[in-house]
C-alpha cells in the first residue's frame, strides 16, 4: 500500500499542475481579449482541425464497423465532418462571418423568447428573465448591425472569455485541492505524533 505522505505529495503536485494549466489558460484568455482578431482566426482554425480529425477518426471507426447497419451513416457523417473541416481551415474568415451571423440570430431569438415568456408568465424570476431577454436582444442587435465587421472580434471575444473563466476555475480547483491535501496531511501528522492511549 502506498505511503499516505507520498500519496499526499503526489496529489499536491497534481493540483499544482492543474493550477499551472489554469494560469496558462488565463494568460491565453487575456492575450485573446487584447488581440480578438487573432483569437477569432485561431479559434476558427482549431475548430476546422477538430472537425477534420474527428471526421478522420469517424471514418476509421466506420471502416472498422463495416458490415453493420450503421456503416453508411458513419461514412456520410465522417465525410461531412472532413469536408466541413477543410472548408473551415481554407476559409476561416468566411466561417467566422457565418458563425457570427448564427450567434447573432441565436441571441436575438433567445432574447425575444425570454422577453415574451417573462411578460406572459410573470413568474417569481420575472425581473431576472426580463433582464436576460433584453440583454440577449441587445447583444444580438449589436452583433447584427455591425456584421460582417463584428465577425472579426465576436468569436475571438467569446473564445478568450471561455479560456479566461476555465483557467480561473482550474486555478481555484488547484489551489483549493492543495489546501485540502495540506490540511489532511497536517492532521495525519498530528494524529501520528499523539501518544497512544492505554
Please name which of 112, 105, 109, 102 lies closest in space to residue 133, comparing C-alpha atoms: 112
pLDDT recorded at residue 159: 83
pLDDT digits 0-9 by tens, 109-131: 888 888 787 777 776 777 777 77
Are 56 and 79 contacting, i.e. CB atoms less than 8 angstroms apart?
no
Whether 194 shows a pLDDT value over 80: the answer reads no
Q: Encode 141-171: b = buried (16+ Cβ within 10 Å), e = exposed.
A: eebbeeeeebbbbbbbebbbeebbebbeebb
Are 81 and 48 contacting, i.e. CB atoms less than 8 angstroms apart?
no
Element (H, E) at 67: none
**Mean pLDDT for all residues in the chain:** 80
pLDDT digits 0-9 by tens, 80-113: 888 988 998 888 888 888 888 888 888 888 888 8
CA–CA separation, 10 vs 153, rounded Å? 41
Q: Encode 73-109: b = buried (16+ Cβ within 10 Å), e = exposed.
A: ebeebbeebbebbeebbeebeebbbebbbebbeebbe
Instruction: Work out the pLDDT band at 1, boundaries 50, 70, 90.
Output: very low
Report the predicted TM-score, pTM, of the whole model to 2 decimal places: 0.62
Amino acid at each position: 500500500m502506498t505511503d499516505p505522505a507520498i500519496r499526499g505529495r503526489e496529489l499536491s503536485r497534481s493540483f499544482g499542475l492543474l493550477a499551472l494549466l489554469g494560469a496558462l489558460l488565463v494568460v491565453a484568455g487575456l492575450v485573446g481579449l487584447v488581440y480578438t482578431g487573432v483569437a477569432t482566426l485561431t479559434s476558427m482554425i482549431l475548430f476546422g482541425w477538430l472537425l477534420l480529425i474527428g471526421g478522420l477518426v469517424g471514418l476509421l471507426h466506420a471502416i472498422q464497423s463495416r458490415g453493420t447497419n450503421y456503416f453508411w451513416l458513419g461514412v456520410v457523417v465522417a465525410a461531412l465532418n472532413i469536408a466541413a473541416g477543410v472548408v473551415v481551415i481554407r476559409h476561416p474568415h468566411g466561417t467566422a462571418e457565418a458563425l457570427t451571423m448564427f450567434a447573432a440570430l441565436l441571441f436575438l431569438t433567445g432574447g425575444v423568447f425570454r422577453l415574451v415568456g417573462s411578460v406572459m408568465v410573470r413568474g417569481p424570476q420575472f425581473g431576472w428573465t426580463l433582464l436576460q431577454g433584453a440583454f440577449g436582444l441587445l447583444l444580438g442587435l449589436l452583433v447584427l448591425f455591425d456584421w460582417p465587421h463584428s465577425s472579426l472580434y465576436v468569436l475571438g471575444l467569446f473564445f478568450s472569455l471561455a479560456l479566461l473563466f476555465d483557467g480561473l476555475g482550474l486555478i481555484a480547483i488547484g489551489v483549493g485541492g492543495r489546501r485540502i491535501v495540506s490540511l489532511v496531511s497536517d492532521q495525519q501528522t498530528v494524529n501520528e505524533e499523539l501518544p497512544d492511549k492505554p
